[in-house]
């Protein structure tokens, strides 16, 4: 059945809009295998040595001096323990060159951070993933599709203001949904914390 010409003209913008939306959703973040991070001891390590065969990659951006990063280490440790054994690569990232090696080692040791933490000195991974705040979490699948980006939960309203009761567990819900093969109801939230500075 052929549509009248005037209907085709009216429908074309709608079709293009749908195509553009589909393309936007299918965009992927390609992390080059040769991208280099550093261990806390200062050794170089390529991203392909860190990301193995897990189905999901969780990047956690942290700053040793950010109060919220310090406060959230217990929550992150609990989540790490809860989801251990699942195909999720937990990758802590300290971006930039603003901290000494000892400061970073002391931070990880003092707060007993259980998951691996690396340094993104040149901010390549940080910019690639679009991280702007610490703490901020970004969850990708193996195809490089961003599933969730933002805050860990809604406890922090601002740097100096927190809720008495946490009512939204964004990261926990995202991980649970992904592992069960369910679509995420929330894919993006605004992280609260300290801005990542370029050093």
Q: What single DSSP character describes residue 98?
A: -
Where residue 63 sits, what CATH number does that domain have? 3.40.30.10
Q: How far is Cα 152 from Cα 131, in angstroms, rounded to an integer? A: 14
Render 136-178 in DSSP notation, one character per residue.
Answer: EEEEEETT--EEEEE-S-S-EEETTEE-SS----HHHHHHHHH
Output the pLDDT for position 14: 40
How high is the pLDDT of residue 4? Answer: 54
pTM for the full predicted model: 0.86
pLDDT tens digit sequence for 76-88: 999 999 999 999 9
Three-state secondary structure call for residue 91: strand
Beta strands 117-120 and 88-95, pairing class: parallel
CB 132 within 8 A of CB 195: yes
CA 121-127-81 angle, 5° bins: 75
Q: Is 60 helix (H, G, I), strand (E, B) or coil?
A: strand
pLDDT for position 159 = 76
Structural domain count of the chain? 1
Q: Which sign does the torsion angle of CA 151, 72, 99, 109 carry? A: negative
Closest by alpha carbon to 77, among 119, 135, 123?
135
SS3 category, 59:
strand
For residue 65, what are the domain limits? Answer: 5-195
- Predicted pLDDT at 160: 79
**Low-confidence stretches of the chain (pLDDT beneath 50):** 1, 3, 6-26
Instruction: Give the model's pLDDT for residue 5.
Output: 52
């Amino acid at each position: 059945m052929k549509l009248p010409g005037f209907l085709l003209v009216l429908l074309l913008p709608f079709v293009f809009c749908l195509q553009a939306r589909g393309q936007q959703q299918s965009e992927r973040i390609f992390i080059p295998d040769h991208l280099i991070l550093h261990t806390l001891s200062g050794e170089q390590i390529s991203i392909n040595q860190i990301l193995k065969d897990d189905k999901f990659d969780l990047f956690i951006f942290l700053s040793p001096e950010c109060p919220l990063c310090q406060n959230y280490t217990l929550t992150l440790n609990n989540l790490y323990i809860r989801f251990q054994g699942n195909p999720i690569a937990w990758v802590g990232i300290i971006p930039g060159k603003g901290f000494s090696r000892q400061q970073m080692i002391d931070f990880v040791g003092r707060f007993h951070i259980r998951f691996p933490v690396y340094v993104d000195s040149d901010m390549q991974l940080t910019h690639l993933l679009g991280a702007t705040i610490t703490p901020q979490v970004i969850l990708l699948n193996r195809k490089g599709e961003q599933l969730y980006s933002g805050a860990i939960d809604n406890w922090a309203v601002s740097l100096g203001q927190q809720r008495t009761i946490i009512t939204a567990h964004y990261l926990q819900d995202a991980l649970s949904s992904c592992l069960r093969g369910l679509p995420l109801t929330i894919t993006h939230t605004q992280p609260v914390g300290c801005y990542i500075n370029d050093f």
